[in-house]
């Protein structure tokens, strides 16, 4: 055990000290945070105000187009297609010149096309105004009353509550759960690959350098294999923890750079999420509702399960990758053809995961989150939906026990292949030969 510890130390330190590790640990979260910040920044900045001149001699719109942050309307009669640019308008709007019941033939003339946001805004504004005008005309009601009625109807709020839970979650948290599910499952998917292949390369390096033979004259092959797997696993865990700390830290710093005006916007939105007149984009509103819903997630459970399934899945697959690494020589193509049967279940798992996020209680989701080949990815994606209501306790328990048994089994299996493979040079062994090694 003492010697395994020495090997773990070496594997860990030699990787953590590498420049590439330090760079990727620091740069990945920085890149991640900058990307999100850039998306928010661009979204906000691209909402520029467009001035539109409305030429409406017949008064079809009744001068009631409501200006917003995106679009400002001005009812003018002195503007035409010849001079609207010179007068500072981005576009000129001609409502149809016939009757009020004619809702077709609105024309907008621009020099440069308007932004997508402005286009959508104008369409919505016109149809809303027309709706109000039509209703008020035929029912003889004040358009303002219609607006008020619609506003109160739009404020309809549905509380999705589960049986036996009287907590008011303030809206559906299905979306939040699925986003968290996606992110955590993908993280596990990516890390299984990155660290699994790292293990395989490490083993291949030791084999081609012939250092394996020297080390095996001091320790048992199993100790060398386990030392490598555990050492690299510790590297992965370190990287995760660093990322979490850095992302939280960087986001905090980022927040202080975001213009106060924007923060205010977000806060305003939070105050009046439902059916607001919609002065900001839908994305902003979603963000606001996500922030309120994030607090409803059972974070200790999600993070705990994430770490458990990361470690379990890693141990399960890393042992298999180590076995492949021991069986091949430096030829990358040999390695590829042998890793295929290992990477296959990981890819299938990600496909099942996408399905199970949409329906986390389906029997496909349920059973594949119990099978150790898929459980690290599928179960992680289901846990954010809630335990025990979406994932029953017995499912989680069985899945965890099977994963532990699973990695004990793959480790045992791989140790047998590794023991023979690591000292064997020459051609790549066939599956049949490798099966024979198991019997020794």
Closer to other proteins at the Cβ: 217 or 333?
Answer: 217
From CA 412, how far away is CA 406, in angstroms rounded? 10
Question: Which residues are at the interface with other proteins (CB under 8 A)?
Answer: 3, 6-7, 10, 14, 206, 209-220, 423, 433, 436
Closer to other proteins at the Cβ: 141 or 332?
Answer: 332
The DSSP bridge pattern shows strands 50-54 and 71-75 to be parallel
Shortest CA distance to 376 belongs to which of 173, 195, 191?
Answer: 191
Q: Diameter of the chain by CA atoms?
A: 97
Contacts of 59 (CB under 8 A, 6+ apart): none
Question: From its phi and psi, is residue 164 left (phi > 0), alpha (psi between -120 and 50) or beta?
Answer: left
Closer to other proteins at the Cβ: 71 or 212?
Answer: 212
Closer to other proteins at the Cβ: 19 or 116?
Answer: 19
From CA 419, how far away is CA 326, in angstroms rounded? 8
Closer to other proteins at the Cβ: 206 or 395?
Answer: 206
Sign of CA dihedral 400, 401, 407, 410: negative
CA angle 284, 288, 294 (to 5 degrees): 135
The DSSP bridge pattern shows strands 71-75 and 91-94 to be unpaired
Closer to other proteins at the Cβ: 191 or 420?
Answer: 420
Quick one: tokens of 88?
Answer: 């500072």
From CA 315, how far away is CA 226, in angstroms rounded? 10
User: Do residues 215 and 206 make contact, with C-beta atoms less than 8 angstroms apart?
Assistant: yes
Torsion on CA atoms 390, 392, 397, 403, rounded to nearest 10: -40
From CA 79, how far away is CA 200, in angstroms rounded? 72
Closer to other proteins at the Cβ: 212 or 357?
Answer: 212
Residue 433 beta carbon to other proteins: minimum distance, rounded to whole angstroms: 7
Closer to other proteins at the Cβ: 76 or 201?
Answer: 201
From CA 439, how far away is CA 417, in angstroms rounded? 10
Residue 220 beta carbon to other proteins: minimum distance, rounded to whole angstroms: 8
Residue 285 beta carbon to other proteins: minimum distance, rounded to whole angstroms: 52
User: Do residues 278 and 163 make contact, with C-beta atoms less than 8 angstroms apart?
Assistant: no
């Amino acid at each position: 055990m003492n010697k395994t510890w020495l090997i773990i130390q070496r594997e860990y330190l030699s990787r953590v000290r590498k420049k590439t590790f330090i760079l990727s640990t620091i740069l990945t979260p920085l890149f991640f945070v900058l990307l999100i910040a850039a998306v928010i920044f661009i979204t906000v900045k691209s909402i520029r105000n467009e001035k539109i001149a409305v030429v409406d001699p017949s008064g079809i719109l009744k001068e009631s187009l409501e200006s917003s942050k995106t679009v400002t309307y001005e009812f003018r009669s002195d503007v035409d297609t010849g001079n609207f640019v010179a007068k500072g308008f981005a576009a000129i709007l001609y409502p149809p010149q016939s009757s009020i019941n004619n809702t077709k033939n609105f024309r907008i003339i621009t020099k440069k096309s308007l932004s997508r946001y402005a286009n959508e805004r104008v369409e919505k504004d016109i149809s809303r105004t027309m709706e109000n005008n039509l209703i008020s005309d035929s029912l003889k009601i004040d358009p303002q009353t219609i607006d008020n009625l619609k506003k109160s109807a739009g404020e309809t709020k549905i509380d999705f509550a589960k049986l036996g839970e009287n907590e008011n979650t303030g809206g559906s948290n299905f979306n939040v759960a699925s986003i968290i599910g996606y992110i955590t499952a993908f993280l596990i998917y990516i890390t299984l690959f990155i660290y699994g292949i790292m293990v395989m390369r490490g083993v291949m390096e030791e084999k081609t350098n012939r250092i394996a033979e020297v080390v095996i004259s001091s320790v048992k092959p199993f100790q060398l294999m386990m030392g490598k797997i555990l050492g690299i696993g510790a590297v992965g865990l370190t990287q995760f923890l660093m990322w979490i700390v850095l992302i939280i830290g960087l986001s905090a710093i980022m927040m202080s750079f975001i213009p106060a005006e924007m923060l205010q916007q977000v806060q305003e939105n939070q105050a009046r999420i439902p059916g607001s007149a919609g002065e900001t984009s839908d994305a902003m509103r979603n963000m606001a509702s996500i922030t309120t819903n994030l607090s409803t997630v059972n974070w200790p459970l999600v993070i705990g399960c994430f770490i458990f399934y990361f470690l379990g899945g890693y141990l399960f697959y890393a042992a298999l990758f180590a076995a492949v690494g021991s069986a091949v020589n430096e030829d990358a193509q040999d390695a590829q053809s042998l890793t295929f049967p290992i990477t296959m279940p990981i890819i299938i798992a990600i496909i099942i995961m996408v399905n199970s996020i949409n329906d986390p209680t389906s029997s496909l989701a349920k059973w594949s989150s119990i099978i150790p080949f898929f459980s690290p990815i599928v179960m992680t994606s289901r846990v954010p939906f809630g335990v025990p209501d979406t994932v029953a306790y017995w499912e989680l328990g069985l899945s965890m026990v099977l994963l532990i048994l699973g990695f004990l089994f793959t480790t045992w299996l791989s140790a047998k292949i590794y023991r023979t493979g690591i000292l064997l040079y020459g051609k790549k062994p066939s599956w049949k030969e490798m099966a024979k090694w198991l019997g020794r």
